[in-house]
A and B are shown apart, each in its own frame.
Chain A
Amino acid sequence: MHRVRAKSLAYTNEQDLIFGRSPHPVKTRSGLEIGGGTVYPEINFTLPTMMVNAQTMPEVLENYRQIMEGVCQRAAELYVPGFVAEIEVLPPMTMNPQWGVDVTKTVVDVIERYRQSDGVKASVRITPVDIREGRELEHMWHGSHWDRIMALFEGAAEAGAELLAIESVGGKSVHDEATMYCDLPKSVFALTVLGALDMEHLWLAISDVAERTGTISAGDTACGFANTAMVLAERNYIPKVFAATVRVVSAVRSLIAAECGAKGPHKDCGYENIYTKAITGTPVALEGRTSAVAHLSPVGNIAACAADLWSNESIQNIKLLSGPAPTASFEQLAYDCRLFNTASETGKETAKLLRDLHADSDSKLDPQAYVLRPDVVMEISAGIIQEDDDYRRGVAAARLTLQAMREGHDSGRLNLDDREETWLDSLSETADELPDTAEELMAKIAEDSDAFEPDKYDL
């Protein structure tokens, strides 16, 4: 397995970049064709407030069993044509891979029972926590942290999980510094030098596991980078124009999964993966208004424009008036998907209208939404793939994003207040001054960053 760099866009017309359809659909063992014309729900869930340890594991497994019972039953009752259940394990379940495998078995067993009794079709996505952080980490690509992640992928694949995904964190410690200071050069370095290096190693390895185990190398998300920035912008801690720029630069990083064998569906919280879809034609999971159960966002509608799976991000297993929260969340996803699929069945123009309503209802109000408009995505993606090294792609992404926001604002298609405009000006100046090569930038970062540990990346 080796990396194959994308050199062209997967679409010639932005109107074709739409929910439910991808040039390269993914077929699962359970019979889902993701990106083949139908948008399916992807339900994600987590435990209520509780400790996870050897003593509580029986209770943990019982929680997962109950969650899946509720979801599968509702899937049957609502005639859901198929769904994906994501097991995004918690840190102790990656530190102890067998616990993650046991959770996978529990979820797979319930789905199988409902397949036999009610014809429910579902596939399982396994997402280990990327534990490669902290003082005990030896190296990004070997040592016990790496081994445990890979052991969980292997074990979960053998236990019946079919889609392999991760929220990888290569470069994140440097990016955390960049986010706090809105330091664009450091952000570009973290995402497109450290992040890119890590993505290549990690995704070639994951794709190997997929090949060995007959599963699907699915995809990544820049959650720890771009979603951290989004949440901080939501709290007014950092400017939205910075978060929007990070989002698009992070697409350069997340795209590498697809260049290293990931076939999709890419990971739900990676809003930047609409760029991955535009460039590679691989299907994406996305989340929007339905993920307000986990985090707030300014992209609740526009995120749906190109979704092939429609997700809720994560919901705690607590009791609501209607029933268990994961069941309620699943129902919301199912109804959204019915609407998307009915629009598609009605015709291309209707689907396009629904897509554009989703885009237009968000894009004027927030730059983070604006940069997810399919027309903007296509334009910036075309600029990204002109460059053939990751750092240059990152520089292009930053400059084109800032330029797109400026043009959007000047033409009245994007609202920005005075504070945001000031930051747009200063970020644009900074982007223009980014060094020509990654090596030049690395020398500066090495002097300036406490978090940059070159040895862990063999630099």
Chain B
Amino acid sequence: MSTIDELSTAVQKGKVKDVLALLETGLAEGSSAQQLLDEGLLKGMSLLGVRFKNNEVFVPEVLVAARALNKGSEFLKPYLIASGVEPKGRAVIGTVKGDLHDIGKNLVKMMLEGTGFEVTDLGVDVPDEQFLSALDEYQPDILLLSALLTTTMGQLKSVIDTIDAAGGRGKAKILVGGAPVTADFATQIGADGYAPDAASAAELAFSMLELAA
């Protein structure tokens, strides 16, 4: 098995120490940081993502792998910066004002990181204005808004209206989600996309990124 394949396997098993050791070996063998990231770390996450979608593994196994991926990415960061490599995409995520739920949001964040996004998490109970200012501060490709309650779904529209009114539309694609949210509702409030679960949200964000490229 090549070092890069071993790296992919180590990520899937969530073995942080092995990941870091294999990255050092890979660099010493002459692999580029980009190669180790794409064909080792992200490929491992992607394979695990497929197993998760097929109900072969649970979220904790994916999270442990994501932790290994993040540690590996941190290790590679100076090498990537030195060679001018940018993250695949940037995303900002948060739960809207009045809503304190965050498990769904956290799952989406994890899935996004697993596909190579750099994600800024604004947390829960986030005011509209903070989402607006995050567009300039973090310059994301995708803005993801979450709401779990029927009474905070309306806040999704309020965020979008705030962004529209400030002329911020077009700075990022806006995706919405949460248990009571539907595709129809997303369309009605002017969102660019909707996903029913965490894995689909990451896929949709990634496909939007590819379309924009």
Q: A58 within 8 Å of B by Cβ?
A: no
Contact B107 A237 (CB under 8 A): yes
**Footprint of A on B, CB under 8 Å?**
55-56, 58-60, 63-64, 98-100, 102-103, 106-107, 123-125, 149-155, 180, 185, 197
Interchain residue pairs with CB less than 8 A apart (16):
A47-B151, A49-B151, A49-B153, A49-B154, A52-B151, A90-B151, A91-B100, A134-B124, A135-B125, A176-B102, A180-B59, A180-B103, A180-B106, A238-B58, A239-B58, A419-B56
Report which of B103, B107, B124, B154 forms a contact with A50, defined as CB distance below 8 A.
B154
A79 at the interface (CB under 8 A from B): no
Tell whether, in the assembled complex, residue B103 and residue A181 are in contact, meaning their CB atoms are under 8 Å apart.
no
Contact of A180 among B60, B98, B125 (CB under 8 A): B60
Q: A residues near B, CB below 8 A? A: 46-52, 90-92, 131, 133-136, 176, 179-183, 228, 232, 235-239, 316, 419, 423
Across the interface, do A182 and B102 meet the contact criterion of CB distance under 8 Å?
no
Contacts of A90 in B (CB 8 A): 149, 151
CA distance A134 to B102 in the complex (A): 10
> Number of A-B pairs whose CB atoms are under 8 Å?
70
Give the distance to chain A from B94, nearest Cβ to Cβ, in Å: 12
Dominant SS among interface residues on chain B: loop
In Å, the complex CA distance between A136 and B126 comes to 12
Q: What is the CB-to-nearest-CB distance from B13 to chain A, in angstroms, rounded to a whole number?
A: 14
Which A residues are in CB contact (< 8 Å) with B59?
Answer: 180, 232, 237-238
A181 and B154 contacting across the interface, CB-CB below 8 Å: no
Which of B56, B150, B151 meets A92, CB within 8 Å?
A: B151
Determine which of B100, B154, B180 lies in contact with A134 in the assembled complex, contact meaning CB atoms within 8 Å.
Answer: B100
Interface of A is mostly: loop
**Complex alpha-carbon distance, A49 and B153, angstroms:** 7
Q: Which residues of B contact A228 (CB under 8 A)?
A: 103
Interface centre among A49, A176, A179, A316 (most CB of B within 10 A): A49
Given contacts A135-B123, A236-B58, contact A181 B151 (CB under 8 A): no
Chain A residue nearest to B100 (CB atoms) is A133
Given A51-B154, A90-B149, A181 contacting B64 (CB threshold 8 A): yes
Shortest 8 CB-CB distances between A and B: which pairs?
A182-B60, A237-B59, A51-B154, A133-B100, A49-B150, A134-B125, A181-B60, A90-B151
| Chain A residues closer than 8 Å to B155, beta-carbon distance | 51
Closest to B197 in A: A235
Which residues of A have CB within 8 Å of B103?
176, 179-180, 228, 232
| Distance of A92 Cα from B149 Cα, bound (Å) | 12
Determine whether the beta carbon of B63 is less than 8 Å from that of A181. yes
Please measure, in the bound complex, the distance between the C-alpha atom of A228 and the C-alpha atom of B106, giving whole angstroms. Answer: 14
Of listed B150, B153, B154, B185, residue having the most chain A CB within 10 A: B150
Residues of A within 8 A of B56 (CB): 419
Q: How far is the CA of A236 from the CA of B124 in the complex (A)?
A: 24
- Give the residue name and chain of the B residue nearest to A236 (CB): B55
